[in-house]
Amino acid sequence: MDAGIGLLAAAAAVRRLRPDAALVLSSDPDGMPWGPRTPEDVTARALAAAEAAAAHRPDALIVACNTASVHALPALRARLEPDLPVIGTVPAIKPAAAGGGPVAIWATPATTGSPYQRGLIREFADGVAVTEVPCPGLADAVEYADEAAVALAVAAAAERTPDDVRAIVLGCTHYELVAERIRAAVQRPGLPPLVLHGSAGAVAAQALRRIGEPPAPEAPAEGTLTVILSGREAPLPAPALAYAEGRLLQAVSPAR
């Protein structure tokens, strides 16, 4: 679940690990973006999206949204666990800092500088040079596959990123859909390749561990895909097909 198509990265990661998985994608296009909303409003909308997915009796729920993980995870777990394991998304600050830095964290303006993100930096990146980079407009541009707006938002964030940064944490699930454009904008000539750290792969693997299902990338069975948009079953939104992750999901199991 997510406010929008940021959930594609985690869904595609699950699909690669388990081609036989039945996936339910629940988002909230009627209420997005969640970032500017109050924590109480985010929690209410996240609960609605989660319950729409839970009606399909899944084995696990991935909260593929940093904003919802920050504000709504306790409420989601209180409502759904232990019957339905809930897996949140945490920015990959720990593995990024393990490389020694300098590190940049690209995130929404609401997340940048938040007590939550600052706490993760203190816990996992003590002694490492970290720059928090707000990326206004980037998640919305990705959501609507607006190429011009994506280019402008990425370029603006790249300008705010120090030249010596060696790793970037993608602190919003939408950003993983344009990871290579981010890399191209920030990579400096003559420097080692930039390392990008997203959360989708780790979250997908954790979900499978929680339900006791090992990865089986060669599974012969073809999975299914159900798409829920603000509580209504629908096809995969057209902008999702602008991204490799959306095309993978559509190709393996056409959306209903």
Domain boundaries, the chain: 5-89+201-252, 93-198
Residue 13: pLDDT band with limits 50, 70, 90: very high
Helix (H, G, I), strand (E, B) or coil at 38: coil
DSSP 8-state code for residue 60: -
- Known catalytic membership, residue 135: no
Select which of 11, 24, 172, 200 is catalytic.
172
Q: How confident is the model at residue 152 (pLDDT cuts 50, 70, 90)?
A: very high
Distance CA(63)–CA(74), nearest Å, equals 12
Does 123 score more than 80 pLDDT?
yes
pLDDT tens for 201-241 read 999 999 999 999 999 998 887 899 999 999 999 999 999 99
Q: How far is CA 31 from CA 15, 72, 174, 231, 240, in A?
A: 27, 15, 16, 11, 18
Q: What's the chain's average pLDDT? A: 93
Structure tokens at 22: 């039945």
CATH fold for domain 5-89+201-252: Rossmann fold (3.40.50)
Active-site residue flag, 65: yes
Give me the mean pLDDT over the 132-148 stretch: 95
Task: Give me the pLDDT at residue 38, please.
Answer: 84
Topology of domain 93-198 in CATH is: Rossmann fold (3.40.50)
* pLDDT tens column, 174-199: 999 999 999 999 998 888 889 999 99
Paired strand residues for 103 = 130, 167
**pLDDT at residue 188, as a whole number:** 87
Which amino acid would we find at residue 222? E
> Does residue 252 surpass a pLDDT of 70?
no
Q: Tell me if domain 5-89+201-252 and domain 93-198 are identical in fold.
A: yes
Spatial distance between the Cα atoms of 244 and 13, rounded to a whole number of angstroms: 12
Phi-psi sector, 7: left (phi>0), alpha (psi -120 to 50), beta = alpha
Q: Tell me the pLDDT tens digit for each residue of 73-88.
A: 999 999 999 999 999 9
Q: Which entry of 53, 62, 65, 158 is annotated as an active-site residue?
A: 65
Looking at residue 224, what is its pLDDT? 93
